[in-house]
Amino acid sequence: MPRSQGVPSPRSPKGPTRFGLLMIALSLLLAIGLSLLVLGLLFGGPPKRQRNIPLYQAEPSLLLAQPLHSL
């Protein structure tokens, strides 16, 4: 009975291939992007559009609701 341990089987080159490195980089970018999106939604909330209204675009009722000295 010949022993099959003596002959090394042909193996792929050591280390990840180019495709493997590409998939690792893409998954890392996706994970970083998703975590930044989740953190932005948790701490920042949706963008508030009511804060930076110029006076000429504001409703007249909003202008009348302000005290006169703040205008």
pLDDT tens digit string along 15-70?
778 999 999 999 999 999 999 999 988 887 666 655 665 656 556 665 565 565 55
Please say whether the dihedral angle defined by the alpha carbons of residues 49, 55, 57 and 60, taken in this order, is positive or negative.
positive
- Within 8 A by CB and 6+ apart from 55, the residues are 63, 71
What's the rounded Cα separation, in Å, for the pair 38 and 64? 39
